[in-house]
Structure 1
Amino acid sequence: MQELYSLFSQGIIDTTVMVLISLTLSTLIGIPLGVLLVITRKNHLLSNTYIFTILNTIINILRSVPFIVLLVAIIPFTTFIVGTPIGIRGAIVPLVVYTAPYIARLMETTLLEVDWGVIEAYRGMGTSKMQIVFRIMLRESRSGIILCLTIATIGLIGASAMAGAVGAGGLGDLALRYGYQQWDLKIMFITVIILISIVQLVQSSGNYLSKKLQRK
């Protein structure tokens, strides 16, 4: 029993570390990319077809590659950045490369829901483009942004489980080593229950926070 507790405690800690670090980095990259995708499109604040086309193409390419394939394909890049393609450090790079474009696309969808009439009204009052982005677009989209990050977090939890294939640790590694390779159904079952519980907690928390922001 003590051994099981130790195994799962470490697995949960490893998964949490991977998800939190990857989510933070992905958000810092993904939100600005999402904003750029919106404001550089035709007839928007900083309309620039060249920049929009390049960003849109890169994001589409990265999003079209399954995570397990991406994990292997960018091993040289991962090694260059963190010095190793295995372990938690080796998993964070592909997790960020996988999640940042996803957040960018979700952000684009959310920001496009901001009423263009409101943006035009503020432009007419002489509000700067930077102020419109931060005080109008991002502020009006707070609730949607929380839901975007909730969806991204859940996807990241699933991807972190797949990262167990490169010995990244975490719950995915437990399921692979004990559940699959040693066919220990007990550990596999407990791992699945824990992952479901984490996802439910994240989704419920995201929904609650989104509703709170919507009322303000």
Structure 2
Amino acid sequence: MTWDEMAPLLWEATWQTGVMVGWAAVFTVLLGLPLGVALVVFDRGGLRPLPVLKSILGVIVNVGRSLPFIVLMIAIIPFTRLVVGTTIGTAAVVVPLTVGAVPFFARLVETALREVDRDVIQAAQAMGAGRGAVVWKVLLPEALPGIVAGVTVTVVALIGYTAMAGTIGGGGLGDLAIRYGYQRFETAVMIVTVVVLIVIVQIMQSLGDLLARRLSHK
């Protein structure tokens, strides 16, 4: 395959990967952030101790994290069809990507929040701050660098997940690598696809690290 033939396919696949990762990252943050906060707030010694609820959420998160992504994609096919009406294509892959990434990100958020100095929380409570104020004005701002680092790690993981999504016709760089690089023995396509994935990961990791450092300095 010549470069002129490969370029349009590569551009389309890169765009599809970006769309999948972008939407999945947005939904993951929207769902995983409050879940991570709940794991901390409802824990023993938390702002609103509810050990039973915390244990239930912990089990759900652990189950979600324990499933390999390729298994998860197949297992939730009925749910994916219910949400988007299909199980093939870029839109369909966003569903398992989100389901797989939310528990992972929630644990990262939980870890970042637990690193916040207890003295800061107690000082806010001593000044009369309610639970909501402590979460929004103390916990989240103090843990923001760690949360941003968690978002970066999650996005990098999502990029890897999209490559596996190609096995079920999800589109993107993974699909391109499988259809042309593997099934048609186009070694050049495989090499270029791998290089593009590496470049994307490096860019995302560098941007995330830079933002986390700047927030930490502030």
Q: TM-score range by the shorter chain?
A: over 0.9
SS in 2 for 1:198: helix
Counterpart AA for 1:179:
G
C-alpha RMSD over aligned residues:
0.7
Equivalent-residue separation in structure 2 for 1:40 and 1:163 (angstroms) = 35
SS in 2 for 1:99: helix
Aligned residues: 216
1:141 equivalent to 2:158? Answer no
Counterpart AA for 1:113:
E
Report what 1:123 is aligned to. 125
Write out the 4+ residue segments of structure 1 that deviate beyond 4 Å after TM superposition. Answer: none
Equivalent-residue separation in structure 1 for 2:95 and 2:209 (angstroms) = 28
Counterpart selection for 1:78 from 80, 83, 87: 80
Report what 1:113 is aligned to. 115
Report what 1:21 is aligned to. 23
Report what 2:207 is aligned to. 205
Deviations 1:53-89 (A, max 9, x none): 1100000001000000000011011111111111011
Q: Residue 183 of structure 1: CA displacement?
A: 1.4
Equivalent-residue separation in structure 2 for 1:27 and 1:97 (angstroms) = 11
Counterpart selection for 1:153 from 152, 155, 180: 155
Q: Residue 2 of structure 1: CA displacement?
A: 2.2
1:183 equivalent to 2:168? Answer no
Report what 2:55 is aligned to. 53
Length-normalised TM-score, structure 2: 0.98
Equivalent-residue separation in structure 1 for 2:212 and 2:119 (angstroms) = 24
Q: Residue 174 of structure 1: CA displacement?
A: 0.5
Length-normalised TM-score, structure 1: 0.99
Equivalent-residue separation in structure 2 for 1:89 and 1:11 (angstroms) = 14
SS in 1 for 2:9: helix
Identity within the alignment, %:
44
Q: Residue 112 of structure 1: CA displacement?
A: 0.2
SS in 1 for 2:45: coil
